[in-house]
């Protein structure tokens, strides 16, 4: 009885401390092959066919920021990540989730290919000819209209970054929406929808100013789904300049 009570107390103490039991992932060849198949069906559309990263972050690294251990990785696969485009596993059972997690871990053992280009010159293109800082910020410096790029090299692959520069409309996040609000009285406002509910809508314009409207005072709301405010740099930058810009963006990672 004392041993049982001690076990209960220890378990509660571990829970209170935020710890959890370690998860053992399958390591057999058949499990990894099945995990690869599951990954290509459920994960590759966002993370790339080989985990190199696309809309979702690259998984070809030994340590994943949101999944430092196997228990955290399994939990993310099961439940997704709230507030992001990462969904839960849905139709996968517990074994399939662990097989997928095992395959994801194996991707961290694959050597990372160097991104071609001159990152130093890419930084010059970013600040100068590209005028990227007019909309994007890095470490708190720059505009606010576009996404923060401080650690973009960790969350997007070089191929995805290049596609975003050449064809921005091909890589618009699902939650991103450009709108034009026409109030019953006053000027029309165009920009990014920041928030919207049944009664109101908030919009950030190109200058970074916030506008809030009660829907009862709005005559029309035009929504441009799948459209980015960012222009294409195809033709504005040379192929070499785009390559260098991608190299610079890919180098932007969390400081250690």
With a cut of 50, which residues of the chain have pLDDT below it? 1-19
Q: Are 136 and 149 in contact (CB under 8 A)?
A: yes
Q: What is the pLDDT of residue 234?
A: 94
Q: Is 68 left (phi over 0), alpha (psi -120 to 50) or beta?
A: alpha
**Pair 191, 206: CB distance under 8 Å:** yes
Tens digits of residue pLDDT in 225-239: 989 989 999 999 999
Q: What is the pLDDT, as a whole number, of residue 21?
A: 65
The domain locations on the chain are 21-107, 119-172+230-250, 178-224
pTM of the model: 0.70
User: Strand 178-183 and strand 189-196: pairing?
Assistant: antiparallel
CATH top-level class for 119-172+230-250?
mainly alpha
Helix (H) or strand (E) holding 1: none
User: What CATH number has the domain spanning 21-107?
Assistant: 1.10.760.10
Residue 225: how many other CB atoms lie within 10 Å: 10
Q: Which pLDDT score is estimated for 9?
A: 42
Q: Among candidates 172, 181, 180, which has minimal Cα distance to 146?
A: 172
Sheet-wide strand order for 218-224: 210-214, 200-204, 189-196, 178-183, 218-224
Residue 12: the pLDDT is 42
CA separation for the pair 41, 141 (Å, rounded): 39
Cα within 13 Å of Cα(19), Cβ side? 8
Q: Assess whether the region 119-172+230-250 and the region 178-224 belong to the same CATH fold.
A: no
CB 85 within 8 A of CB 47: no
Q: 178-224: which CATH topology?
A: SH3 type barrels. (2.30.30)
């Amino acid at each position: 009885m004392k041993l049982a009570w001690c076990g209960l107390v220890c378990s509660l103490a571990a829970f209170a401390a935020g710890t959890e039991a370690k998860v053992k992932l399958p390591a057999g060849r058949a499990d990894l092959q099945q995990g690869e198949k599951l990954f290509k069906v459920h994960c590759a559309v966002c993370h790339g066919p080989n985990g190199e990263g696309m809309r979702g972050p690259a998984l070809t690294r030994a340590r994943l920021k949101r999944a430092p251990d196997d228990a955290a990785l399994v939990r993310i696969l099961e439940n997704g990540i709230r507030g992001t485009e990462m969904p839960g596993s849905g139709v996968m059972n517990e074994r399939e989730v662990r097989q997928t997690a095992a395959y994801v871990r194996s991707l961290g053992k694959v050597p990372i290919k160097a991104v071609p280009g001159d990152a130093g010159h890419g930084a010059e293109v970013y600040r100068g000819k590209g005028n990227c800082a007019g909309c994007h910020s890095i470490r708190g410096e720059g505009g606010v209209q576009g996404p923060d790029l401080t650690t973009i090299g960790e969350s997007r692959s070089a191929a995805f970054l290049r596609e975003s520069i050449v064809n921005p409309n091909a890589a618009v996040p699902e939650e991103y929406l450009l709108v034009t609000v026409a109030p019953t009285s006053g000027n029309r406002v165009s920009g990014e929808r920041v928030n919207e509910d049944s009664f109101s809508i908030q919009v950030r314009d190109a200058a970074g100013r916030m506008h809030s409207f009660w829907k009862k005072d709005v005559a029309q709301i035009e929504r441009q789904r799948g459209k980015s405010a960012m222009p294409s740099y195809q033709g504005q930058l040379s192929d070499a300049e785009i390559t260098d810009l991608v190299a610079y963006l890919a180098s932007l990672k969390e400081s250690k």
